[in-house]
Amino acid sequence: MENPHAERQAVLLERIVKNTSKCTEMILELNHCLEEILRANSGVKTAADLATKYRKNVQYNLEATVGAVAASEGVRLEGQEDGSGAQR
Amino acid sequence: MSGARVPITPNPPRWKPNSNPASIHVPGLDTTAPVHDQIEQIEQLITIKLQNIDENFSRIHNVLANKLLPAVKRYAVGTEPVREAAKFWTSFYEQAAQIRIPTSDDHSTVNEFPSEHEISETTSEHTTQDMTETEEGSEVSQETIDDHSEEPSTSHTESSFHPNQDAFSSTPAKTRVARISDDTMRTGESPSWSASLESPFVRLSNEVKNFSLADEGPSFAPSTAPETTFRPDEPTPVSKPMPSQQSSRKGKNTPLRDNLLRHQLYSATDMSSIATTSRTISPLKPRSKGKTPLPNKVNPYIPPGTDSSKWSGVIDLRDPSVATPYRSRRAHPSSSRKVVATPKPESDDDDDFDALPPGMSPPVMMSPVRLSKATDYSLLAPTPSKNASVRIKQAILRSVQKDHHYGGTHSIAESTLSTMPTPPSFSQYRDHGPPDITDSLTDPSFDSMMRRVGLEVPTSSAPGPPTIGGIVDDSAAHIYDDLDSDDSLDDFNPTAHPSAAFLMATQGVQASDEDSFGSSNQSSDSLNDEEAHLEGAVPVHPFAGGIEDTGDDDSDSFDEYQPGDGARTETLFGVAPGERLAAEQRRGQQLRMLGQEMLDDMTATGAYVGGVEESPTPANWGGSK
C-alpha cells in the first residue's frame, strides 16, 4: 500500500538533511573565520594586557608616591599644626 | 542591541519516549475521530513538522551565509586598524620594558614549541582536542596550536611585563623549548602526542641536521680510510720495487713522499693486485670511466698530513695545484724517486710547474690496463657527487685547454702519420708501430739517448742501447716490452705513465734502464703497451685517440702524461737538476727539429714536464708534513 504521506515526508527529510549539511558547512566556515580573527586579534589582547599592566603599575606607583608625599606632607602639616597649635 | 532583537523563545521541553503508547498525547489531534482519520491527521502533522524543520534549517543557513559570515568578515576587516595600533603599542611596551613578548605573530617561528608548552600547561581537555586535530592534518593542527598558543603567549606577556618576571619571558621561544621537556615530563600524556605535534617543523629540522651529519660522515670517513690504508700499501719505488708493495715504507713519511707514494701506488696498482687498486684508487680510472672520478675513500683534496676529518670541505679551485689532486700524486711518484735520491728534483718540479701554461694540465699517458681496470675501480668506488662535480668542471676546463694545446698538435701528428686515433689499448699498435714509425722513432730515440746520457748516467749503467738507431729501438722496445713485463716494470711505475712523446724518445733507453731499475712489476704492462704504442703509433697520442671523447678522459690522459715526466725524472734520477734541464732543453730543440709528429709529442711532453714540476699537489702537501 502506497502511503502518499510517507513519500512526502521522505522528500522533506531529504531537504532537511541537505539543509543541515549546508548549515554545518557554514558554521565550520564561520568558526574558521572567527579563529583567524581571534588569532589576529591576539596582538590586541596582548597590547591591552600590557596597557592594563602598565596602568596598574603607574597607578600603584602614583599611589605610593602620593602616599609618601602625603605622609611626608602630613608629617610636615602635623608639625606645622602642632607648631601653630602650640602658638595658638 | 539585544533589546532591539526578538527575544529568543525558550526551547520546548525535550521530547521523551513515552513508556505507555496509550498515554501519548498528540497536540491538535482529534481523538474522537475514527482511527483512520486520526492516522491521516497524524501523518499530516508529521509532514507539517518536517516542513517546519526544513524551513528552520534553511533559515539558519540563510542567516549564516548572508548575515553572520559577512558580518564576521566585516569585523575582521574593521579590526585591522585596531590590530595595527595594538602592534605598535605592544612593541612600545616591549621596548620600554626591554623584553620580548611572544605573540601570535610568532607562530611561524615559535609555533611548535609554544603549542607544546601550551598544551602541557593546559588541561587534558585541550590536549585531547589537540590530539584529534593533529590527527586531522598538519594544517588543522597548526591552527589549533596557534589558537592555543595565543593563551600561553598572553599569559607569558602578562608575566613578562611584570618586572620581576622579565627573565622568565625575555627569551620566550628558547625558554619554552627548554621547558618543553620539563612540561612533557610533568604531563604524562604529552610525550605521546608531542611527537606528532612536533612533527612538521621539528622533525624537518632534525632531519636536516641528521642529513647534514650523515652527509659529512661518509665523505670524511672514506677519505680517512683510504689514506690510512694507503700508507702501509704505499710502496716506495726506491726502497722496494716489489709489486706486493706491502713493504714498510712508513719509516720516511714526508708529506711529499706520501704524495709520491700514493701516486706510485696508483701506478703500481694498475699492474698489481686489483684489490689494492680498489682501495687506493686511481683517479684516472673513474675519470676515464665517466663522471665519477674520485672514489669516496680517497680525498684528493686533503693534504696527506692533515686529518681528513678536519677537512673543511672547501676547495679553492683557483689553485691549479688543488685542481688536479690526483695528478699531483701522479707527478710525485715519478718525483718520489728523485726525492729519495736527490732532494733537488722537488724544487725543479715546482719550477717546471710554474712554467706550464696556467690551466694546462700535465699530459699523462693512459695505460690500457688502467682503463680496463678503471671500470672496475669506478664500480668499486663510486665517487661522491661533490667530487664528481668538481672533476667534471676541471675536466671541462682541461678539455678546452687541451684542445688548444693538443688539438692542433695531434691533428697534425695524425695527419702526418696517417694513423687512426689510437684506441686505448696500445697492444694493438705494437705490431703496427714498428714498421711505420721506425724512421721517425730513430730521431726520438736518439734524442732520448742524448737526454739519457746526460741525465741517467748515475743510475742507469748502460745508455748504450738507446744509442742504437730507431730500428734498433723498435727491436729493443719489443724486447723491452717483454723484459718490462717481467723485470723492469716495477721500476717504471713512474715511467709507466710517461707521456707518449717521452716514451717514444726514451724507448731505447728504457730497455737499458729496465735492467737497472727493473724493480716494479706493476706498471710493466702499461709501460709495455705504451711503449709499443709509442713505437708503432707514436705520433698519435694514446689517449687522444682512445679517450678523447670524454673530458674526463682527457684530463686523465694528462695525468698519465705526468708520469711520463716522472719517467723523465727517473732518467734524471740522481742527476743534478742542471744537467737535467740542459738535457731537456736539448731534447726540446731536437724535437722541434724533428718531424711535426715528434714535435707535437715533444711539445706535449714539454708541457708535461712543466706539468710535472707544476705538481698539482696543494701547496700544503709539501709543507704540511
Q: For the segment B348-397, what is each residue's pLDDT rounded down to a tens digit?
A: 444 444 455 555 655 555 555 544 444 444 445 555 666 778 878 888 88
Give phi and psi for A73, each to the nearest 5: -65, -40
Classified as helix, coil or strand, B364 is strand
Could you give the CA distance from residue B72 to residue B66 in angstroms, rounded to a whole number?
11
Do A37 and B158 make contact, defined as CB atoms within 8 angstroms? no
* B31 DSSP assignment: T
Burial of B406 (0-12, 13-18, 19+ CB in 10 A): buried
Distance between alpha carbon B426 and the CA centroid of its chain, in Å?
33
Same domain, A28 and A55: no
Q: Which of B266, B304, B302 is nearest to B287 (CA)?
A: B266
Task: Point out the residue among B50, B93, B150 whose CB comes nearest to the CB of A38.
Answer: B150
Within 10 angstroms of residue B308's Cβ, the number of other Cβ atoms is 22
Do B154 and A41 make contact, defined as CB atoms within 8 angstroms? no
Give phi and psi for B103, each to the nearest 5: -130, 175
What's the whole-number mean pLDDT along residues B125-142? Answer: 42
* Chain A contact present for B153, CB below 8 A: yes
Q: How many CA atoms lie within 13 A of B27 on its CB side?
A: 2
Find the Cα–Cα–Cα–Cα dihedral B588, B594, B595, B599, rounded to 10°.
0
Within 10 angstroms of residue B105's Cβ, the number of other Cβ atoms is 17
Do A39 and B146 make contact, defined as CB atoms within 8 angstroms? yes
Q: How confident is the model at residue B193 (pLDDT cuts 50, 70, 90)?
A: very low
Considering only residues B285 and A63, tell me which one the structure prediction assigns the higher pLDDT: A63
Each residue's pLDDT tens digit, B470-485: 444 444 444 444 444 4
Same domain, A16 and A48: no
Instruction: Answer yes or no: is pLDDT of B417 > 70.
Output: no
Instruction: Answer yes or no: is pLDDT of B425 > 70.
Output: no
- The grid coordinates listed for B454 are 746526460
Q: Are B524 and B489 in contact (CB under 8 A)?
A: yes
* Chain A contact present for B557, CB below 8 A: no
* B64 DSSP assignment: I
Annotate B248-297 with DSSP letters as a single string. --TT---HHHHHHHHHHHHHHHHHS-HHHHHHH--SHHHHHHSS--S-SS
Give every CB contact of residue B57 below 8 A, 6+ residues apart in sequence. A16, A19, A20, A22, A23
Task: Point out the residue among A8, A13, A39 whose CB comes nearest to the CB of B150.
Answer: A39
Classified as helix, coil or strand, B4 is coil
Same domain, A34 and A56: no
Give every CB contact of residue B123 below 8 A, 6+ residues apart in sequence. none
Q: How high is the pLDDT of residue B366?
A: 55
C-alpha distance from residue B28 to each of B19, B41, B48, B132 (Å): 21, 9, 12, 46
Q: How high is the pLDDT of residue B79?
A: 86
Could you give the CA distance from residue B544 to residue B424 in angstroms, rounded to a whole number?
9
* Chain B contact present for A34, CB below 8 A: yes
Each residue's pLDDT tens digit, B563-580: 444 444 444 455 555 555
Same domain, A77 and A48: yes
Burial of B516 (0-12, 13-18, 19+ CB in 10 A): middle
What's the whole-number mean pLDDT along residues B184-200? Answer: 44
Same domain, A52 and A30: no
Give every CB contact of residue B108 below 8 A, 6+ residues apart in sequence. none
Q: How high is the pLDDT of residue A31?
A: 92
Instruction: Answer yes or no: is pLDDT of B266 > 80.
Output: no
What's the whole-number mean pLDDT along residues A30-36? Answer: 90
Task: Point out the residue among A33, A49, A54 whose CB comes nearest to the CB of B154.
Answer: A49
Overall size of chain A counted in residues: 88
Beta strands in B515-592 (DSSP E): none
Q: How confident is the model at residue A40 (pLDDT cuts 50, 70, 90)?
A: confident
Can you say whether residue B28 is alpha, beta or left, with left for phi > 0 and alpha for psi between -120 and 50 degrees? left
Cell 664500480 locates to B379
* Chain B contact present for A58, CB below 8 A: no
Show residues of chain A in contact with B47, CB under 8 Å. Answer: 5, 8-9, 12
What's the whole-number mean pLDDT along residues B339-345? Answer: 43
Considering only residues B93 and B320, tell me which one the structure prediction assigns the higher pLDDT: B93
Do B54 and A22 make contact, defined as CB atoms within 8 angstroms? no
Show residues of chain B in contact with A22, CB under 8 Å. Answer: 57, 61
- The grid coordinates listed for B556 are 686523465
**pTM metric for this prediction:** 0.29
* Chain A contact present for B68, CB below 8 A: yes
Q: Which of B134, B155, B121, B105 is nearest to B198 (CA)?
A: B134
Could you give the CA distance from residue B242 to residue B128 in angstroms, rounded to a whole number?
75
Chosen from A17, A28, A42 to mutate, greatest number of chain B CBs within 10 A: A42
Q: Which of B279, B326, B336 is nearest to B519 (CA)?
A: B336
Same domain, A25 and A59: no
Q: How high is the pLDDT of residue B15?
A: 78
Within 10 angstroms of residue B12's Cβ, the number of other Cβ atoms is 6
* Chain A contact present for B568, CB below 8 A: no
Considering only residues B464 and B52, tell me which one the structure prediction assigns the higher pLDDT: B52
Overall size of chain B counted in residues: 625
Do B154 and A42 make contact, defined as CB atoms within 8 angstroms? yes
The range of the structural domain enclosing residue A16 comes to 1-40
Same domain, A54 and A36: no
Could you give the CA distance from residue B298 to residue B382 in angstroms, rounded to a whole number?
11
Our CA-based measurement puts residue A18 at a distance from the nearest CA of chain B, in whole angstroms, of 9
If you measure CA to CA, which chain A residue comes closest to B47? A9
* Chain A contact present for B48, CB below 8 A: no
* Chain B contact present for A29, CB below 8 A: yes
What's the whole-number mean pLDDT along residues B164-175? Answer: 40
Share of chain B above pLDDT 70, in %: 18
Instruction: Answer yes or no: is pLDDT of A64 > 60.
Output: yes
Do A50 and B161 make contact, defined as CB atoms within 8 angstroms? yes
Type of residue found at B212: S
Give phi and psi for B234, each to the nearest 5: -55, 120
Show residues of chain B in contact with A46, CB under 8 Å. Answer: 86, 90, 101, 103, 153-154, 157
Instruction: Answer yes or no: is pLDDT of B282 > 80.
Output: no
Distance between alpha carbon B27 and the CA centroid of its chain, in Å?
85
- The grid coordinates listed for B452 are 739519457
Q: Are B612 and B565 in contact (CB under 8 A)?
A: yes
Do B60 and A37 make contact, defined as CB atoms within 8 angstroms? no
- The grid coordinates listed for B592 are 722541434
C-alpha distance from residue B522 to each of B39, B243, B274, B496, B504 (Å): 110, 6, 11, 9, 20
Q: How high is the pLDDT of residue B25?
A: 79
Same domain, A34 and A49: no
- The grid coordinates listed for B66 are 548572508
Same domain, A54 and A84: yes
Q: How high is the pLDDT of residue B585?
A: 60
Q: What is chain A's percent helix, strand, coil content, to nearest 5? A: 95, 0, 5
Q: How confident is the model at residue B26 (pLDDT cuts 50, 70, 90)?
A: confident
Do B72 and A45 make contact, defined as CB atoms within 8 angstroms? no
Q: Which of B100, B89, B110 is nearest to B161 (CA)?
A: B100
Supply the mean pLDDT for chain B.
53
Instruction: Answer yes or no: is pLDDT of A56 > 90.
Output: yes
Number of independent structural domains in chain A: 2
Show residues of chain B in contact with A36, CB under 8 Å. Answer: 76
The radius of gyration of chain B from alpha carbons, rounded to an integer in Å, stands at: 42
Same domain, A29 and A58: no
**Could you give the angle at the alpha carbon of B276 between the alpha carbons of B271 and B280, nearest 5°?**
105
What's the whole-number mean pLDDT along residues B161-180? Answer: 41
C-alpha distance from residue A59 to each of B157, B262, B531, B535 (Å): 19, 82, 101, 105
Q: B90-94, B173-177, B258-262, B377-381 — which is least confidently predicted?
A: B173-177
Q: B193-207, B250-264, B555-569 — which is least confidently predicted?
A: B555-569
Each residue's pLDDT tens digit, B396-408: 888 777 665 544 4
Instruction: Answer yes or no: is pLDDT of B612 > 70.
Output: no
Strand-pairing partners, residue B364, are B561
Q: How high is the pLDDT of residue A51?
A: 87
Our CA-based measurement puts residue A56 at a distance from the nearest CA of chain B, in whole angstroms, of 11
Q: Which of B319, B198, B333 is nearest to B264 (CA)?
A: B333
Same domain, A88 and A52: yes
Strand-pairing partners, residue B561, are B364
Same domain, A54 and A78: yes
Do A53 and B150 make contact, defined as CB atoms within 8 angstroms? no
Instruction: Answer yes or no: is pLDDT of B150 > 90.
Output: no
Q: How high is the pLDDT of residue A60?
A: 93
Instruction: Answer yes or no: is pLDDT of B84 > 60.
Output: yes
Our CA-based measurement puts residue B161 at a distance from the nearest CA of chain A, in whole angstroms, of 7
